[in-house]
């Protein structure tokens, strides 16, 4: 076989692999299990490794078209990858939002906290919950489910297909609403605790005005907050894991 014939045979395979990598690489850059704590070079290498078997599953090779078609295919696959990786990352924000509320209500807020895997202005509790949410993705094998969802996306929208942006917009809005609902559910017991405790502090302050109630009862509030975290975190982890699984399977 001549070099020209070999190039013509391998060119569609390499082109298919490249377009597959565009989608999977963009998704891995945003998927919460592979971000922040994983170096960008490692994520790209992992995406290159995962793209190879998936490109073989997608097809025997896609023929290259004109320059505009190639550019359009690259932009389409990168956009789809961003959407597929962004949806789980938005759902992870439910842990951050709940931790923010829990930290402020229970007196576990630290303005000098190192953000770590959380977001700007995060509390100690929100950082803890984001780290736990990331660990739960691996513990529940959701990273495998995510790779399976990426593989299934090629049957829904091919390498040269056109995505339905209306469905993508609705999907992002749905994930954001689910994240807010989940965050409120996680923080609800702590909001009740904060309301009851602060009402009790107000009554105590009226009855004993000379008593510095804030300094006396703040350690008790912190202890109750930590105790409530220990009691409710199992249910929080279960709800979060099932919600993340539904988000990934719905991609």
* Mean pLDDT in residue range 153-163: 82
Residue with tokens 């829990």: 102
Q: What is the pLDDT of residue 225?
A: 86
Distance (Å) of CA 109 to CA 103, 113, 141, 226, 236: 5, 8, 32, 12, 20
Q: Let me know: does 251 contact 151? Beta carbons within 8 Å.
A: no
For 16, residues 6+ apart whose C-beta sits below 8 A from its C-beta are 55, 58, 59, 60, 61, 62, 159
Q: What is the pLDDT of residue 62?
A: 61
For 251, residues 6+ apart whose C-beta sits below 8 A from its C-beta are 84, 87, 149, 153, 171
Q: Let me know: does 62 contact 14? Beta carbons within 8 Å.
A: no
* Mean pLDDT in residue range 20-34: 86
Higher-confidence residue of 19 and 122: namely 19
Band of residue 180 on the pLDDT scale cut at 50, 70, 90: very high
Band of residue 111 on the pLDDT scale cut at 50, 70, 90: low
* Mean pLDDT in residue range 71-85: 89
Higher-confidence residue of 12 and 22: namely 22
Q: What is the pLDDT of residue 6?
A: 41
* Mean pLDDT in residue range 151-163: 83
Confidence (pTM): 0.82
Task: Give the mean pLDDT of the chain.
Answer: 81
Band of residue 45 on the pLDDT scale cut at 50, 70, 90: confident
**Left, alpha or beta for 66 (phi > 0: left; psi -120 to 50: alpha)?**
beta
Q: What is the pLDDT of residue 157?
A: 83
Domain ranges of the chain: 3-249
Side-chain-side CA neighbours of residue 105 (13 Å)? 24
Residue 9 has pLDDT above 70, yes or no: no
Residue 198 has pLDDT above 60, yes or no: yes
Residue 170 has pLDDT above 50, yes or no: yes
Judged by average pLDDT, the poorest of 111-115, 161-165, 220-224 is 111-115
Band of residue 181 on the pLDDT scale cut at 50, 70, 90: very high
pLDDT tens sequence across 123-156: 778 888 888 888 899 889 898 899 899 888 888 8
Band of residue 222 on the pLDDT scale cut at 50, 70, 90: confident
Residue with tokens 């994983």: 38
Q: CA 143 to CA 36: how far, in whole Å?
A: 16
Residue 246 has pLDDT above 80, yes or no: yes
**Left, alpha or beta for 163 (phi > 0: left; psi -120 to 50: alpha)?**
beta
Residue 122 has pLDDT above 80, yes or no: no
Q: CA 88 to CA 245: how far, in whole Å?
A: 9
* Burial status of residue 225 (CB atoms within 10 A of its CB: 0-12, 13-18, 19 or more): buried
φ, ψ for residue 189, nearest 5 deg: -60, -35
Q: Please give the share of the chain, as a percent, with pLDDT higher than 70.
A: 85
Q: What is the pLDDT of residue 110?
A: 62
Residue 16 has pLDDT above 80, yes or no: yes
Q: Distance of alpha carbon 18 from its chain centroid, rounded? A: 25
């Amino acid at each position: 076989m001549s070099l020209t014939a070999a190039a013509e045979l391998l060119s569609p395979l390499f082109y298919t692999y490249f377009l597959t990598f565009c989608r999977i690489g963009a998704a891995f850059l945003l998927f919460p299990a592979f971000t922040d704590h994983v170096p960008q070079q490692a994520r790209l290498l992992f995406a290159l490794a995962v793209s190879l078997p998936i490109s073989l599953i997608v097809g025997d090779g896609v023929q290259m078209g004109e320059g505009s078609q190639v550019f359009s295919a690259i932009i389409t696959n990168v956009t789809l990858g961003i959407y597929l990786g962004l949806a789980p990352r938005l759902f992870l924000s439910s842990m951050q939002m709940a931790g923010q509320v829990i930290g402020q209500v229970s007196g576990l807020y630290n303005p000098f906290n190192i953000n770590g895997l959380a977001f700007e202005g995060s509390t100690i509790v929100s950082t803890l919950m984001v780290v736990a949410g990331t660990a739960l993705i691996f513990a529940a094998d959701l990273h495998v489910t995510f790779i399976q969802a990426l593989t299934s996306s090629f049957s829904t929208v091919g390498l040269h297909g056109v995505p339905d942006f209306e469905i993508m917009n609705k999907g992002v809005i749905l994930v954001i609403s689910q994240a807010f609902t989940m965050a409120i559910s996680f923080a609800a017991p702590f909001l009740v605790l904060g309301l009851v405790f602060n009402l009790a502090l107000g009554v105590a302050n009226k009855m004993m005005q000379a008593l510095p109630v804030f300094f006396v009862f703040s350690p008790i509030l912190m202890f109750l907050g930590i105790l409530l975290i220990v009691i409710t975190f199992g249910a929080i982890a279960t709800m979060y894991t099932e919600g993340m699984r539904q988000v990934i399977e719905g991609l």
